[in-house]
């Protein structure tokens, strides 16, 4: 089998992404292409695929006035050009909104859609490969036993002759099961000419991108078909299809994690972000959610019902069950975060432990320190955030409130139930709580008084 990456080597690529759909069936104020799958927008998935396929120029066609889409493009593909599509006259018309990008020239042009988040860089690489072998057009297509609603790829004597939209197809053509996936690659030398010649003499009165095939055939130019799984090419038009895409990408991510050396006890219950990185011999128990920007080192254990986002775990870390790591959480080698512990913008150095019922925010916890149950860092004063520093080997007793900004020195001990508002020196003991009083023998009288009062209330009612 030919290495497609080698075939495309040295060839320039312009990727045109059509992202101007209104997405009315999404029933959302958010532009359709900005809905997320595995923590990344659908448009982001397509842009990543184009970049992975070697795009040297990216052009995105958008709905006019959608500043949020423009911001997403600038963030994910900083060099991409954005072109508004003022009128909706069909897919070929949409591509020509990026006429300037086509006129700039490239060896290959790939046309993709911003609502097909399952498309991969490998498939786009395969799609453009026939161009390097002399074809002018390459169409992505799939076989399906139920072709209703799809454009049909028509082949005669082993050669592609046209793509026919269903509403324009004859009964014989509608029986064809080879269907157009929508994505297309064109020779950069011929792309603008073919697209400019597409007419709208069809049932919808639209300028159809697939008509480039028939034009190329009439010019005596070679057309290739590249196969793809039907599921990969599916577009997302509503929330149901969005959930189908999410399930498909989660399946890919779970498989990749296991192949790379992680153990998922119940894979179907674990949800990844597109950028989750797990080291070797990581164990992930059921019902764990990884949000964006999580890195997990070798040999870590993520216990059940934990949620991680924007967190970095070094080797040998254990968290959960029911732990929450928020953005900026950094756990160094051997650190331990137990059940119902929340960490935000804080570093736990090697071997530090916070085993239960604790909130640590905007803090540094030194190596080997122990944080008792019910401890919180009081980091927010209603206006500003403040930091807490806990030294190596310190012991923080249960139910302690550390009112930031404050520091507890290395090896220091804080007594349970304390409210610490001033720095504790290295090696010191700090106790900050009300003094306990003992009233010997007073319990019986107190209890009798309370019971009498209760009886009186009952009688009065």
Question: What's the pLDDT band for 1 if we cut at 50, 70, 90?
Answer: very low
What value does the mean pLDDT take over residues 43-62?
A: 97
pLDDT, tens digit, for every residue of 171-201?
999 999 999 999 999 999 999 999 999 999 8
- The predicted model gives 259-266 an average pLDDT of 98
pLDDT tens column, 323-376: 999 999 999 999 999 999 999 999 999 999 999 999 999 999 999 999 999 999
Model's pTM, two decimal places?
Answer: 0.90
Q: What percent of the chain is modeled with pLDDT above 90?
A: 91
What percentage of the chain carries pLDDT values higher than 70? 98
Instruction: Report the mean per-residue pLDDT for the chain.
Output: 95
Of the pLDDT bands very low, low, confident and very high (cuts 50, 70, 90), residue 5 is low
pLDDT one-digit tens code per residue, 117-135: 999 999 999 999 999 999 9
Confidence of residue 159 (pLDDT cuts 50, 70, 90): confident
Rounded to whole angstroms, how far apart are CA atoms 178 and 150? 9
pLDDT digits (tens, 9 = 90+) for 134-157: 999 999 999 999 999 899 999 988
Provide mean pLDDT across the span 268-287: 98
Cα–Cα distance, 242 to 239 (Å, whole number): 5
Beta bridge partners of 82: 60
- pLDDT of 3 over the 80 cut: no
Instruction: Go through the domains of the chain in sequence order and give each one's CATH number.
Output: 4-227 (3.90.550.10), 260-430 (2.160.10.10)
pLDDT tens digits, one per residue of 98-108: 999 999 999 99
Q: Is residue 4 very low, low, confident or very high in pLDDT (cuts 50, 70, 90)?
A: low
Burial zone of 236 (CB within 10 Å; 0-12 exposed, 13-18 middle, 19+ buried): buried
Total Cβ atoms within 10 A of residue 12: 16
pLDDT at 55: 96
The position carrying tokens 């790829």 is: 153
Catalytic residue of the set 190, 303, 307, 356: 356
Instruction: Please tell me which residue, 21 or 48, carries the higher pLDDT value.
Output: 48
| Position 111 confidence tier, pLDDT thresholds 50, 70, 90 | very high
Q: How confident is the model at residue 311 (pLDDT cuts 50, 70, 90)?
A: very high
Residues 399 and 425: beta-carbon distance below 8 Å: no
Active site residue 35: no
Give the list of residues 6+ apart from residue 288 with CB closer than 8 angstroms, or none.
269, 270, 271, 302, 303, 304, 305, 306, 307, 308, 320
């Amino acid at each position: 089998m030919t290495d497609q990456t080698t075939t495309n080597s040295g060839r320039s690529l312009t990727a045109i992404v059509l992202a101007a759909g209104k997405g009315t069936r999404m029933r959302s104020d958010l532009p359709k292409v900005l809905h997320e799958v595995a923590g990344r927008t659908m448009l982001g998935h397509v842009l990543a695929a184009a970049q992975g396929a070697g795009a040297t120029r990216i052009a995105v066609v958008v709905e006019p006035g959608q500043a949020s889409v423009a911001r997403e493009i600038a963030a994910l593909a900083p060099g991409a050009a954005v072109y508004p599509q003022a009128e909706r006259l069909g897919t070929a018309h949409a591509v020509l909104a990026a006429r300037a990008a086509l006129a700039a020239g490239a060896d290959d042009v790939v046309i993709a859609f911003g609502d097909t988040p399952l498309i991969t860089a490998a498939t786009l690489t395969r799609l453009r490969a026939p161009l390097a072998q002399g074809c002018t057009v390459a169409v992505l297509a799939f076989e399906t036993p139920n072709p209703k609603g799809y454009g049909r790829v028509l082949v005669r004597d082993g050669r592609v002759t046209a793509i026919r939209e269903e509403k324009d197809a004859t009964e014989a053509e509608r029986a064809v099961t080879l269907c157009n996936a929508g994505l297309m690659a064109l020779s950069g030398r011929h792309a603008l000419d073919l697209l400019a010649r597409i007419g709208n003499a069809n049932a919808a009165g639209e300028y159809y991108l697939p008509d480039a095939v028939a034009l190329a055939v009439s010019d005596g130019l070679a057309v290739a078909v590249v196969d793809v799984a039907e599921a990969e090419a599916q577009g997302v038009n509503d929330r149901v299809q969005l959930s189908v895409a999410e399930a498909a990408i989660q399946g890919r991510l779970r498989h990749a994690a296991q192949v790379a050396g992680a153990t998922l006890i119940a894979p179907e219950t674990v949800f990844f972000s597109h950028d989750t990185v797990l080291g070797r011999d990581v164990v992930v128990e059921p019902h764990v959610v990884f949000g964006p920007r999580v890195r997990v080192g070798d040999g870590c254990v993520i216990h059940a019902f934990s949620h991680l986002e924007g967190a970095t775990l070094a080797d040998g870390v254990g968290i959960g069950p029911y732990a929450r790591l928020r953005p900026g959480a950094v756990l160094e080698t051997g650190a331990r975060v137990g059940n119902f512990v929340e960490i935000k913008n804080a570093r736990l150095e090697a071997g530090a432990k916070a085993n239960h019922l604790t909130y640590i925010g905007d803090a540094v916890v030194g190596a080997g320190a122990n944080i008792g149950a019910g401890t919180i860092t009081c980091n927010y004063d209603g206006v500003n955030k403040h930091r807490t520093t806990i030294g190596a080997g310190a012991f923080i007793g249960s139910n302690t409130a550390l009112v930031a900004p404050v520091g507890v020195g290395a090896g220091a001990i804080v007594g349970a139930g304390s409210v610490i508002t001033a720095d504790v020196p290295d090696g010191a003991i700090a106790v900050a709580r009300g003094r306990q009083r003992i009233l010997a023998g007073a319990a019986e009288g107190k209890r009798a008084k309370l019971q009498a009062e209760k009886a009186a209330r009952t009688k009065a009612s």
